[in-house]
Structure 1
Amino acid sequence: MRLTLGLTGMDPATESALQAAFATANTRLGGDHWLLLPENQAEYVVVDMDSMYGPMSWLRLHAAGKQVIALTAAQRSQADFRLGQPFDAHSVAMLLRDIATQVGVPLQETIVASPAAAVSTEPTPVVVTSVPAPSPVVAVAAPMPESTVDVAVSEPEPPVQIAAVAAPTAIEPAPAAVVAPTPVTATPGNTLLDWLTQDRLKGRVRLRGSESVLIDTEQRQYHGPAALKPLATYFESALSTADFVAVDATTWASESTRLGAAMPLSRLAWFGNLLAGRGVLAPGYDPQQRFQMVKWPQTEREYPKHFRIATVMMKGPATLAEIAEASGVSTAEVADFVNANLATGFAEPEREPDPLETQKPGGLFGRLRGR
């Protein structure tokens, strides 16, 4: 019995890496139990759930009766199976083995030890029954520059456009190692969202607090915890200049490596706007307006209801009340989600169609049509 696997909803680099890992994994499992096919011909399909179009691919494949394998950095998934990100030949082999076992085809991964690692003078094949190791959690940010959600994301993202207000003194990067900027008095409205969206930070800085956060304003990236909720306090209280410390290149290199892959600053802007409204639509928008998604957002695993809201909004323009009713989510949660995605360019109010100009028939063909 041969099982079939397909790949979809991922960038070319990820697809090539996954094909190579599959080839190695399939060889270790015997080489004749799995076959890689186009997604429409495969029974099991791997979808990059951390990419922009992954969730839509999941919906399409699920409706088609396919067995969906979620490629994701998150620890949980709504798909039938999960392949942790980052992956390698071993984790792919464990996935293929587990699926095959469920359908009554027991497989065992075989790893051939190298001569240098063998005890005897002759290299001897060693059969090892492996236990899948937990995949490290890395953030995705969805793509916007996209580097990583609930994953690292490779596609560039559009800049976040948010109305600016008068900016106080900016922090210039210090030439020496780790120099603290001059403290100033915090005023209402000085949350991390204000500092980020009003261009009040310059260079590379470390945010003081219980969570380690490094911000690179030039690259529009940050390093910090994979989850967003631990950062909520930075968006709910005022910050002063003393809360930011300039970081030199050497310190940045070591600390950013320890914190893991970079994530786009737009992810923090999204989170800040999610919290800012507190269940009320942002000023300047009418709750009776209809809103729609213009592209699929990078949904966060910490907010599972957002997937339902986004699915409803992708179908067409709707009011907050209509979205809430169709998704089974409260109107306040819908308002917060709409605020976050309006600010980051993933949603917009419904646009009135441009009136068509009345044109008089002209020329010979026009006169003939007018008869």
Structure 2
Amino acid sequence: MKTFYTIALSGLSETDAKQVFAAIESPKLGKWSPSEGGSSDLLIIDVDSVWGHMDWLRAVAEDRLCAAYTEQSSMRDCDLLLQKPLNSDKLIQMLLDVQNGAPAARKPEPAKHQAASAPPTPKPEAKAVPQAPAPMPTPAEKPAPAPAVAPAPVAASPAAPAKTAPKPAAPVQATETVKPAPAQPARDETLGTLLLDGAITDMVLVEGAAGDAKLAIDPINNIYRAPPQLKSIEKLLDVPASRIRPVSAQDAAVQHAGPEQPIVRLLWFAALCASHGELAPHLDPASTWRLTRWPQIEREFPRHFRIATAMMKQPATLEEIADAAKSPVGDVAGFINAYYVAGYVAPEGAAEPTDNSTSNVLGRLRRSFSRNAREASA
């Protein structure tokens, strides 16, 4: 009979996470140990949190044994339900049931998962995509109006541009060339910076080289499509704006890009990649930091589990957390940047975010990593 078990959490508040970790020490249970979640015996998901519902769908699709932690009195397709507020006795009983082999993990039902993915189908109305491509065509189209001001001089301009160009037209041309200047840097902007600036407002598609991953972003419905592995799309965050193209939800490339995932996860990853080993400019490096809730730990970043565990014990500075987690300070800075904007980390003494809705998280992301914030730190 198995005597050692692992448990992983996703989205639980700091108080609830500590209560879970205290409960697994009960002498009534076998030996339970926290895990980052990749292959844990049980995953407890706060399905009411930002990542919650998508985490739940992904866990069920992977045939994971998971418990839904929720304020709801019931939940469809749920083997284990843990109601809020957390009751330690009920939690211990649930863990005993798991130890005894009941219930077993269910096999996913494809038809139901397809139904769960159905909501994006009403997206055809988002066919017109005027804003996302704007940074790309604008620089190329704006110089064109200049010849329209004086067609005759334009024909003669190749021979003697300086002499034939009438003086009145010169100021007009100068004014026109000034206008595209602010938009010109957009050609050098990358997908990652555009995401964090909030500049992508309609569905777009980014593709790498032949055979590489595709990334479809649908900010209207707060989802994106890509392979589940975040590192497979890391290079796409560096793709220049000129390679971002508008698409509709029915585009075949969108359908084959990958499963639907919450856009917060993509923005979290973009914030992490934008860290470059340092705290974001709006954060005080001298602050002490704490977890406000147990975060969704991405299995591709195992050090994040150690960092979260160290932060759960007590508030600490960047260097203290790095020392306790035996991780580089740069990794801790990236962790804090990404989870701060997602509402999972806060400086000691600061009020805990009360609104962790997707729209509010996106607002924090954009305020934290906007162009103005980057320029202020320069």
With normalisation by structure 1, the TM-score equals: 0.50
Judging changes above 3 Å, is the alpha-carbon distance between structure 1 residues 279 and 342 closer, same or farther for their aligned structure 2 residues? same
**Map of 1:197-208 to 2, 5 A cutoff?**
197-208=196-207
Equivalent position of 1:76 in the other structure: 39
Tell me: CA distance 1:310–1:89, structure 2 relative to 1, closer, same or farther (3 Å): closer
Out of 289, 292, 295, the position equivalent to 1:291 is: 289
Closer/same/farther in 2, CA of residues 52 and 45 from structure 1, 3 Å limit? same
1:60-91 Cα shifts (integer Å, max 9, x gaps): 45433645899x997534879xx96326799x
For structure 2, which runs of at least 5 residues remain unmatched after alignment? 44-57, 66-98, 110-115, 118-124, 140-183, 352-378
Give 1 or 2: higher helix fraction: 2
CA contact (8 A) 2:37 2:297 kept: no
The residue aligned with 1:98 is none
Q: Distance in 1 between matches of 2:23 and 2:206?
A: 42
Q: Is the 8 A contact 2:214 2:226 kept in 1?
A: yes
CA contact (8 A) 2:7 2:41 kept: no
Report if the CA contact (8 A) 1:203-1:216 is conserved. Answer: yes
Contact kept, 8 Å, 2:196 with 2:270, in 1: the verdict is no
Which residue pairs with 2:231 in the alignment? 229
1:281 to 273, 279, 282: 279
Q: Aligned with 1:250: secondary structure?
A: coil
Query: Matched residue of 2:305: which SS?
Result: helix
Instruction: Tell me: higher relative CO, structure 1 or 2? Use CA pairs within 8 A at least 6 residues apart.
Output: 2
Cα distance in 1 for partners of 2:187, 2:19 equals 43
Shift of 1:329: 1.6
Q: C-alpha distance in 2, partners of 1:60/1:47? A: 12
SS in 1 for 2:234: helix
**Inter-partner Cα distance in structure 2 for 1:292 and 1:212:** 36
Structure 1 residues 219 and 318, CA gap change in structure 2 (3 angstroms) = same
In structure 2, C-alpha distance between the alignment counterparts of 1:331 and 1:78, rounded to whole Å: 31
Deviation at 1:188, TM superposition (A): 8.3
Match of 1:64 among 1, 13, 26: 26
Question: CA 1:327 to 1:89, structure 2 compared with 1: closer, same or farther past 3 Å?
Answer: closer
Alignment coverage as a number of residue pairs: 241
Secondary structure of 1:270 counterpart: helix
Show structure 1 runs of 5+ residues with no match. 5-42, 91-102, 110-131, 137-147, 153-171, 354-371
Residue 326 of structure 1 deviates from its aligned partner by 1.7
User: In structure 2, what is the Cα distance between the partners aligned to 1:89 and 1:173?
Assistant: 35
Identity of aligned residues (%): 27
1:216 maps to which of 212, 215, 218: 218
TM-score where L is the length of structure 2: 0.50
Superposed displacement of residue 260, structure 1: 4.6
Partner of 1:314: 312
Q: Distance in 1 between matches of 2:293 and 2:59?
A: 25
Residue by residue over 1:260-288, the C-alpha shift from the partner in whole angstroms, topping out at 9 and shown as x without a partner, is 53211111121122122221112132322
The CA deviation at 1:221 is 0.8
